[in-house]
Structure 1
Amino acid sequence: MPSQFMVEHVPNATFPEDDEWIALVRAPEGLTVIREAAPYSDAARWVGFYGGASAHGLDVPGMLAAIVGPLGDAGISVFVASTYHADLVLVPERRLAEATAVLKEAGHEVSSATA
């Protein structure tokens, strides 16, 4: 994906104060917010792969494991947000080139403006 992202934890919140988010996960300990990175923010930046070139059924096993497995084996941290159709797999921006190579070596087709 061509954007850079930030992952934020907002304790004791049930919804963000703005609508500038990509994905939300509400949990007992607060809200996790994925949003496009602000240009001048010092927050850690993540870049994403949208797992699955086309939609896949929720009953198809192993789709996410096929992506995060090789990244984990290479010691690359991931943050995942799953949708009904696919998975957004974020990796630290500084590891993008390495993550792209690992996924290609594992047999994945990787195409993006940043990869």
Structure 2
Amino acid sequence: MVSLPLTLLRDVLAVCRLTPDAPLPAWAAGPGFASITRTQEELSIVVRQDRVPGDVVAVQGWRALKVQGPLDFALTGILAALTAPLADAGISLFAIATYDTDYVLVKEETLEAAITVLTAAGHRLV
């Protein structure tokens, strides 16, 4: 079993959806966590929820658990080690991968349950 050290980020986040041709909005830049992905179907932005204007399509109230990295690209099963126990417990998530590490976002109302499930699966909150 893989045991991963996890850090809970302070910020409450929002997952936002803009049109695929939307310019990168000014509110997406700034302090705190931000993840920006553009595809042919959408511009997806994850930022602190207090930075998101009210007219933006967004799902708010996410908390992020960060896998302490950097992680070697040769490692396998990192996300599976986190997502499988959460799925078994019926906890939905939003995953983000970066060059150095992975993040699992869960809704704020399921955060305590997610931490309990992940620690029972052998992961540790540091």
The alignment's TM-score, normalised by the length of structure 2, stands at 0.79
Mapped pair 1:26 → 2:41: no
Q: 1:81 aligns with which of 58, 74, 96?
A: 96
Mapped pair 1:104 → 2:100: no
Structure with greater contact order relative to length (CA < 8 Å, sep ≥ 6): 2
Moved over 6 A (4+): 39-42
Structure 2 counterparts to residues 49-88 of structure 1, below 5 A: 49-51=65-67, 53-88=68-103
Given that 1:79 and 1:90 are in contact with CA atoms closer than 8 Å, whether structure 2 keeps it comes out as yes
CA distance in 1, matches of 2:23, 2:100: 23
Give structure 2 stretches of 5+ with no counterpart.
1-8
Mapped pair 1:13 → 2:28: no
| RMSD across aligned positions (CA) | 2.1
| Aligned residue pair count | 110
CA distance in 2, matches of 1:43, 1:56: 29
**Which stretch of structure 1 is more off in the superposition, 31-40 or 66-75?**
31-40
Mapped pair 1:92 → 2:107: yes
Normalized per residue, the structure richer in strand is: 2
